[in-house]
């Protein structure tokens, strides 16, 4: 157990991430670490991409969800699970539940991307839509959990979820080593902070010389500001962004101390840089990346000069984007 | 040397493909072999994808071009190379020439996809546009070759090009083995037949139980018909297809005997199945695949019932597609 400013920062330790890696082995995809000559030329350094858009359900969220659900008791499995999510966590929980034959109910905003809602249903989960403006997803999910004895699966503030997301970090460290590369910097998208937190734990153990940064949309830069302030700060209640996967109101109670201890800082990016990153992924990497999945690449584009490393890792966290929006963005220039 | 119907079928042998593999090692990308749960469920078997859209220049063509250019003498390198291509071979030659500091001129149809023309120029090659309806690319390129002593780099009828494309097959066989999988069938897109020919040589040596098939657009099904007839047959001169990468008029003189000896048959697919395959790659695989790169997946969609294997490999050969066309296709349903 380590402490900083009187706050426990290791509710999740590296051994938990390693155990999660064993649990998801052979079930999750070990996504590759990709490098592209044209991107290297354009961004004037070596850039290594971890494309979690190639993960089961098209985002990293499956890692944490499976690690959580695989540890439920038989009685808990029989009662089922409930989660709320705008989309990627929904699909992650639904897919993990399907693989483990656990019933799942997902509370989703009625304006969630259609592709995410459809995929969640296709995976066999029951989708319960709610109105983001008039209803509380927490209340709906908690009521279900209490009434039916279902296990609530949080999207980031849970040690098993954080450990599961951290398995991407174990892979990054091993794959970089195999490629003969030492990452100077690693940039990871950040909503509630589970992915970057989990990855930071793995990197601290396996590649301690690598600086790990979060990246967020400018209007949801709560983690960047909180890291600078040393305390949890929230976003404006009326904030908006095309990054539907990254709309958490403030850093997590459990994720923030981890990130405060482990991260070298947080980037915030404009909506235009997000779109530019999606176009670059389309045109050069040939990868479909959703807005929230493109913020780490957007940080490298927009903050090129303040990122010191010669070798930078970028996590592309998801690729679930409605065709109409995608068509508009890639055609937009 | 092996013979069939009095025709030499091994102008390229497995040792040539192995040597090519050593030559392109560390220069070309070793693209991953990807599997996706949702695709497996949808197509009711295990499907393993070789995404050559992730290759240098966004298509497999770099493999053959680099293998050819790396073997030029100093005098030949100084004189430079000339090639004709609607796009992917153009970029492959341009990128290989840039890496080896060889001047390159590429003769391209003036109506080639913009992205392919721009990328070829960006790689430092000189692009010479010609009018497909009134001019002959062969004459223009041959004249340049004769006048300036430049080496002509064919897009498929060349043993070094075929051997280079075959390196994808070496990787597929090794990666399938590593994944503990034996491929029953492997479907590869086919224009002039260099990729499928080269891959067939590798598979015959490394995975002889795997049946290798070509796939073509219905209107350019020259290889399928030629394989059935046992002789080289051409396409209708006014044939059209959205698969701009696969518009070869007939099977190659050098590639056809290889394919006749090694392939188990050829599929032909509708334009609608090509678009459906592109949408599936977008929605589920999160990969950007161009029309010509999607014909092997289209064959699995359209001929699902005639493809016997429980485990099928699919080569996605390229991802260079103009945003406007891509937007239209993915939004089209």
pLDDT tens digit string along B239-277? 999 999 999 999 999 999 999 999 999 999 999 999 999
Tokens 């009326």 sit at which residue?
A238
Q: Provide the shortest C-alpha distance from residue A318 to chain B (in Å).
A: 9
* Cβ(A50)–Cβ(A187) below 8 Å: no
Task: Kindly report the backbone phi and psi dihedral angles of residue B112, in degrees, each rounded to the nearest multiple of 5, phi listed first.
Answer: -65, 155
| Spatial separation of the C-alpha atoms in residues A176 and A184, rounded to whole Å | 11
Q: Which residues pair with A46 in a beta bridge?
A: A311
| Spatial separation of the C-alpha atoms in residues A162 and A159, rounded to whole Å | 5
Rg of the Cα trace of chain A?
Answer: 18
Residues B62-110 have pLDDT tens digits of 999 999 999 999 999 999 999 999 889 999 999 999 999 999 999 999 9
Of B29, B95, B330, the CB nearest to A327: B330
Token output for A47:
């850039």
Rank B5-14, B16-25, B238-247 by mean pLDDT and report only the highest: B16-25
Q: Binning pLDDT at 50, 70 and 90, where does residue B3 land?
A: very low
Residues A110-165 have pLDDT tens digits of 988 888 899 999 999 999 999 988 999 889 999 999 999 999 999 999 999 999 99
Give the residue-averaged pLDDT of B233-242.
94
The per-residue pLDDT for B114 is: 87
The per-residue pLDDT for B1 is: 36
- Cα atoms in the Cβ-side hemisphere of radius 13 Å centred on B48: 25
Question: In A, residues 55-94, which contact B (CB 8 Å cutoff)?
Answer: 56, 58
Contacts of A289 in chain B (CB under 8 A): 286
Give the residue-averaged pLDDT of B229-239.
95
Of B35, B282, B323, the CB nearest to A288: B282
Q: Which of B171, B191, B230, B255 is nearest to B61 (CA)?
A: B191
Residues contacting B133, CB < 8 A, separation 6+ = none
User: Could you tell me if B118 lies within 8 Å of chain A, comparing CB atoms?
Assistant: no
Share of chain B above pLDDT 70, in %: 96
Question: Does the distance separating the beta carbons of A29 and B323 come in below 8 Å?
Answer: no
Question: Does the distance separating the beta carbons of A95 and B37 come in below 8 Å?
Answer: yes
Q: What is the DSSP letter of A56?
A: G
In Å, how far are A29, A93, A173, A250 from A55, measured between CA atoms? Answer: 5, 13, 17, 26
Residues contacting A133, CB < 8 A, separation 6+ = none
User: Could you tell me if A97 lies within 8 Å of chain B, comparing CB atoms?
Assistant: no
Token output for B248:
């070869």
| Interface predicted TM-score (ipTM) over 0.95 | no
Q: Binning pLDDT at 50, 70 and 90, where does residue B115 land?
A: confident
| Spatial separation of the C-alpha atoms in residues B45 and B305, rounded to whole Å | 11
Give the residue-averaged pLDDT of B192-212.
98
- Cα atoms in the Cβ-side hemisphere of radius 13 Å centred on A159: 12
Residue of A nearest to B55 (CA): A36
DSSP for B281-315 reads IIIII-B---GGGGHHHHHHHHTGGG---SEEEEE
Question: Does the distance separating the beta carbons of A284 and B58 come in below 8 Å?
Answer: yes
Token output for A275:
């779109």
Q: Binning pLDDT at 50, 70 and 90, where does residue B10 land?
A: low
Tell me how crowded residue B192 is: count the other CB atoms within 10 A of its CB. Answer: 27
Q: Which of A218, A220, A214 is nearest to A187 (CA)?
A: A214
Give the residue-averaged pLDDT of B153-170.
97
Task: Kindly report the backbone phi and psi dihedral angles of residue A318, in degrees, each rounded to the nearest multiple of 5, phi listed first.
Answer: -170, 165
Give the residue-averaged pLDDT of A81-97.
94
- Cα atoms in the Cβ-side hemisphere of radius 13 Å centred on B299: 32
Give the residue-averaged pLDDT of A297-314.
96
The per-residue pLDDT for B331 is: 87
The per-residue pLDDT for A6 is: 44
Q: Which helix (H) or strand (E) holds A258?
A: helix A255-262
Question: Does the distance separating the beta carbons of B289 and A287 come in below 8 Å?
Answer: no
Of B37, B95, B330, the CB nearest to A326: B330
| Spatial separation of the C-alpha atoms in residues B257 and B157, rounded to whole Å | 11
Token output for B211:
């049946």
Q: Which of B88, B279, B107 is nearest to B189 (CA)?
A: B88
The per-residue pLDDT for A115 is: 86
| Spatial separation of the C-alpha atoms in residues B49 and B36, rounded to whole Å | 9
Residue of B nearest to A324 (CA): B331
Average pLDDT in chain B: 94
Contacts of B287 in chain A (CB under 8 A): 286-288
Q: Which residues pair with A83 in a beta bridge?
A: A106
The per-residue pLDDT for A87 is: 86
The per-residue pLDDT for A154 is: 95
Give the residue-averaged pLDDT of A244-267.
96
Q: Binning pLDDT at 50, 70 and 90, where does residue A2 land?
A: very low
For residue B329, the SS3 value is: helix
Tokens 């897919």 sit at which residue?
A95
Contacts of B319 in chain A (CB under 8 A): 286
Q: At what angle do helices A222-229 and A255-262 cross, to 10 degrees?
A: 60
Give the residue-averaged pLDDT of B161-186.
97
CA torsion A223→A225→A230→A235, rounded to 10°?
Answer: -70
Residue B2 confidence (pLDDT) above 50: no
DSSP for A304-333 reads GGG---SEEEEEE-B----HHHHHHHHT--
In Å, how far are A70, A83, A125 from A149, measured between CA atoms? Answer: 18, 13, 17
Burial class (CB in 10 A: 0-12, 13-18, 19+), B136: middle
Q: Binning pLDDT at 50, 70 and 90, where does residue B132 land?
A: confident
Q: What is the DSSP letter of B59?
A: B
Residue A13 confidence (pLDDT) above 70: yes
Contacts of B327 in chain A (CB under 8 A): 326-328, 330-331
Q: Binning pLDDT at 50, 70 and 90, where does residue A78 land?
A: very high
The per-residue pLDDT for B6 is: 44
Q: Binning pLDDT at 50, 70 and 90, where does residue B15 land?
A: very high
Question: Does the distance separating the beta carbons of B51 and A283 come in below 8 Å?
Answer: no
| Spatial separation of the C-alpha atoms in residues A280 and A267, rounded to whole Å | 19
Rg of the Cα trace of chain B?
Answer: 18
The per-residue pLDDT for B273 is: 98
Task: Kindly report the backbone phi and psi dihedral angles of residue B155, in degrees, each rounded to the nearest multiple of 5, phi listed first.
Answer: -85, -20
Q: What is the pTM of this model?
A: 0.94
Residue of B nearest to A37 (CA): B56
Give the residue-averaged pLDDT of B185-208.
98
DSSP for B114-178 reads HHHHHHHHHTTPEEEEE-TTT--HHHHHHHHHHHH-PEE--SSSSHHHHHHHHHHHHHHHHHHHH
User: Could you tell me if A179 lies within 8 Å of chain B, comparing CB atoms?
Assistant: no
CA angle A208, A211, A212 (to 5 degrees): 105
Question: In B, residues 229-268, which contact A (CB 8 Å cutoff)?
Answer: none
Q: Which residues pair with A180 in a beta bridge?
A: none
* Cβ(B185)–Cβ(B313) below 8 Å: yes
Residue B133 confidence (pLDDT) above 90: no
* Cβ(A91)–Cβ(A115) below 8 Å: no
* Cβ(B260)–Cβ(B4) below 8 Å: yes
| Spatial separation of the C-alpha atoms in residues B76 and A315, rounded to whole Å | 43
The per-residue pLDDT for A1 is: 36
Give the residue-averaged pLDDT of A184-192.
98
Token output for B93:
């030659």
Of B38, B56, B326, the CB nearest to A37: B56
Tell me how crowded residue A114 is: count the other CB atoms within 10 A of its CB. Answer: 12
* Cβ(B302)–Cβ(B270) below 8 Å: yes
In Å, how far are A168, A169, B57 from A37, measured between CA atoms? Answer: 23, 23, 9
The per-residue pLDDT for A10 is: 53
Q: Provide the shortest C-alpha distance from residue A58 to chain B (in Å).
A: 7
The per-residue pLDDT for A331 is: 87
């Amino acid at each position: 157990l380590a402490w900083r400013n009187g706050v426990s920062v290791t509710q999740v330790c590296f051994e938990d991430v390693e155990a999660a890696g064993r649990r998801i082995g052979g079930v999750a995809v070990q996504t590759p670490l990709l490098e592209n000559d044209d991107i290297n030329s354009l961004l004037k350094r070596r850039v290594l991409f971890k494309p979690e858009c190639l993960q089961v359900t098209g985002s990293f969220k499956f890692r944490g969800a499976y690690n959580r659900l695989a540890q439920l008791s038989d009685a808990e499995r029989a009662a089922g699970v409930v989660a709320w999510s705008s989309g990627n966590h929904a699909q992650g929980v639904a897919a993990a539940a399907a693989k483990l034959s656990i019933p799942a109910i997902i509370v989703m905003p009625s304006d969630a991307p259609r592709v995410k809602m459809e995929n969640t249903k296709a995976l066999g989960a029951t989708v319960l839509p709610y109105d983001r403006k008039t209803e509380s997803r927490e209340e709906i999910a908690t009521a279900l959990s209490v009434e039916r004895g279902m296990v609530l699966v949080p999207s980031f503030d849970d040690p098993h979820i954080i450990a599961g997301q951290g398995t991407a970090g174990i892979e990054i460290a091993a794959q970089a080593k195999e490629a003969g590369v030492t990452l100077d910097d690693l940039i990871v998208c950040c909503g509630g902070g589970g992915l970057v937190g989990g990855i930071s734990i793995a990197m601290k153990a396996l590649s301690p010389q690598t600086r790990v940064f979060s990246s967020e949309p400018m209007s949801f830069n709560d983690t960047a500001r909180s890291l600078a302030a040393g305390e949890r700060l929230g976003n404006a209640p009326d904030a908006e962004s095309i990054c539907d996967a990254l709309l958490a109101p403030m850093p997590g109670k459990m994720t923030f101390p981890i990130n405060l201890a482990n991260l070298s800082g947080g980037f915030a990016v404009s909506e235009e840089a997000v779109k530019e990153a999606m176009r670059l992924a389309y045109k050069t990497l040939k990868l479909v990346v959703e807005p929230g999945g493109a913020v780490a690449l957007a940080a490298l584009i927009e903050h090129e000069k303040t990122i010191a490393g010669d070798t930078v890792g970028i996590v592309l966290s998801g690729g679930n984007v409605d065709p109409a929006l995608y068509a508009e963005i890639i055609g937009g220039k």
